[in-house]
Structure 1
Amino acid sequence: MNTGSYYEPTDEHRYKPTPHAGGAWATDEQHFSPLGGLIVHAIDRYLAAGPDNGLVLSRISFDILGRLALDECEIRVETIRPGRTIELLEAVVLMADRPVVRARAWLLGSGDTSAVAGGGADKLTPPEALTPWPMASVWPGGYIASLDVRPLAPPQPGRTTAWISTGLDLVAGRTASPLASFIALVDTANGIAVRRQPTEWMFPNIDLTVHLHRQPEGNWTGLDTAVTFGPTGQGITSTVLHDTAGPVGHAQQILTVRPL
């Protein structure tokens, strides 16, 4: 198995994770972050097989339906709502013929709106000016060990801003789009700003929703993240997403919070 990637393709629509995709809550499971990028990669391949309509992925929501075993998966993509300026796609990840993730992606028409662009957050300090942080000191698993994490300041309980990058390919032998590579790092947000130690409390997310006002570029994913725990077992991880040119959108994750 190629160890320079998170996934190996086994046929046109099937992929086998490498140890680098290993999860943080359980190392024999997949971390959702690279799987989210893999789903976008499958959507990219589906769109590339049809005519170019100029639409861009502007929102994607992932619902995690069950345990993500560190095993081969199949990804099926279909068009739910076709259109010339707005389109809705659905991707389903199956393991042993059982759906484990459902994702829906809205694609919107693009045009020149630079004359009215604005309203986003300020740019972050560039990653080259920052010192790496050993995130593996907090979390186990092959995925976390594969990351270059550079916080703008020492991580605080429930609040951290950090750059995330990796030297690994998403899929061995296949070129991933900048968007797929960017999304492959977004789910890391729930682990960079832990409110309580994961050896004492569990707070896994059961979903991830990403809204984009601009398509990301480059090799770094910036996560400006805040985590809130409620009093009855639910929590929210909220993130402003950045590339090195500035903000690109937002991500939200709903958490189930419980003591170990």
Structure 2
Amino acid sequence: MTETTGTQDSYFVRVGEGRFVPTSHAGGAWADDEQHFSPLGGLIVHEIERFQAREQRSGLVMSRIGFDILGKIGVQEFDIDVRTIRPGRTIELMQATVTIGGRETVTARAWYMQSQDTAAVAGGEPDRLPAPESLDSWPLTSVWPGGYIASLDTRPVAPPRPGRTTAWVGTQLPLVAGESAGALASFVALVDTANGIAVRQEPTKWMFPNLDLTIHFYRQPEGSWTGLDTTVVFGDAGQGLTGTVLHDVRGPVGQAQQTLTVRPLPPAQS
């Protein structure tokens, strides 16, 4: 097993085709021996886009990607395998699988659609957010530990509230050392942060990790910031939902949903 690379100024280091090592910047918020899913989600999109470039697929844009987190995302070397499930010239379905320690840990399926000019009928989106440059940074490390959280520049639009926060999230770190990721992969790499910016209960007393992340786009994101207009709901039977309207610097681009498993933390052992 290859050990985590802690000195790289990136989230991941490529060590082979489809094979990566996480750096300390990918460290999780719930446990020291786990990766945070957010940068891994962006890396999956990066690998899908590289696969499409090799296959000379063009003219299609992502409309939806759904990630299922099947188990612990360990801090160790891992593989990402990408394949086409449903090829087509106007609609295509891609699948990516992350394998860690011989076990499938994350699966993702992404629908791509042919891009067309529909500006004449566009409408219905919510208002855009204030520009991130006009806002002050908020140290998310005051709520969460972990290398990924420490790598972020988080700028709330208004003071964060339990279960309701709107904020911009950015980072200066590239996804992969020595590689340039596209705007879509870089955007998706920050979306899973949504579950951490509007916590309903203190994460030192309650756990609410997400089992999945589903993102729908109606416009392709641009720029280096991801805007998260987030609402968190806890049900009365251990289930929760984080819903987010997604923004880039031009305005809204889509929505994201995360299914939460809500449970109290066990009492600390003395």
TM-score (norm 1): 0.99
Q: Once the 2 structures are TM-superposed, how far is the Cα of residue 42 of structure 1 from its aligned partner?
A: 0.6
Q: Once the 2 structures are TM-superposed, how far is the Cα of residue 98 of structure 1 from its aligned partner?
A: 0.9
Determine helix, strand or coil for the equivalent of 1:171.
coil
Determine helix, strand or coil for the equivalent of 2:196.
helix
Which of 12, 15, 20 aligns to 1:7? It is 12
Tell me the amino acid that sits aligned with residue 217 of structure 1.
E
Aligned residue-pair number: 260
CA contact (8 A) 2:38 2:189 kept: yes
Counterparts of 1:52 and 1:33 in 2: how far apart (Å)? Answer: 26
Tell me the amino acid that sits aligned with residue 60 of structure 1.
I
Counterparts of 2:250 and 2:121 in 1: how far apart (Å)? Answer: 18
CA RMSD in angstroms comes to 0.7
Alignment identity in percent?
A: 66
1:103-118 equivalences under 5 Å are: 103-118=108-123
Tell me the amino acid that sits aligned with residue 252 of structure 1.
Q
Structure 2 residue runs of 5 or longer lacking an equivalent are: 266-270
Residue 129 of structure 1 aligns with which residue?
134
Counterparts of 1:23 and 1:184 in 2: how far apart (Å)? Answer: 14
CA contact (8 A) 2:52 2:58 kept: no
1:199 maps to 2:204: yes
Q: Once the 2 structures are TM-superposed, how far is the Cα of residue 3 of structure 1 from its aligned partner?
A: 2.1
Which of 122, 142, 148 aligns to 1:143? It is 148
CA deviations over 1:180-218 (Å, ceiling 9, x no partner): 000000000000000000000000000000000000000
Counterparts of 2:155 and 2:195 in 1: how far apart (Å)? Answer: 15
Moved over 2 A (4+): none
Tell me the amino acid that sits aligned with residue 88 of structure 1.
L
CA deviations over 1:26-74 (Å, ceiling 9, x no partner): 1221000000000001101100101233111110000000000111110
CA deviations over 1:78-115 (Å, ceiling 9, x no partner): 11111111100110000122100000000001011111
CA contact (8 A) 1:53 1:84 kept: no
Residue 101 of structure 1 aligns with which residue?
106
Counterparts of 2:116 and 2:124 in 1: how far apart (Å)? Answer: 18
Residue 80 of structure 1 aligns with which residue?
85
1:214 maps to 2:219: yes
Residue 234 of structure 2 aligns with which residue?
229
Tell me the amino acid that sits aligned with residue 78 of structure 1.
R
Tell me the amino acid that sits aligned with residue 248 of structure 2.
D
Tell me the amino acid that sits aligned with residue 245 of structure 1.
R
Counterparts of 1:49 and 1:185 in 2: how far apart (Å)? Answer: 26
Determine helix, strand or coil for the equivalent of 2:11.
strand
Residue 268 of structure 2 aligns with which residue?
none
Determine helix, strand or coil for the equivalent of 1:216.
coil
1:170 maps to 2:175: yes
Q: Once the 2 structures are TM-superposed, how far is the Cα of residue 12 of structure 1 from its aligned partner?
A: 1.2
Counterparts of 1:27 and 1:179 in 2: how far apart (Å)? Answer: 28
1:56 maps to 2:61: yes
Residue 33 of structure 1 aligns with which residue?
38
Determine helix, strand or coil for the equivalent of 1:240.
strand
TM-score (norm 2): 0.95
Tell me the amino acid that sits aligned with residue 83 of structure 1.
G
Determine helix, strand or coil for the equivalent of 1:99.
strand
Counterparts of 1:53 and 1:222 in 2: how far apart (Å)? Answer: 27
Determine helix, strand or coil for the equivalent of 2:149.
helix
Counterparts of 1:53 and 1:193 in 2: how far apart (Å)? Answer: 37
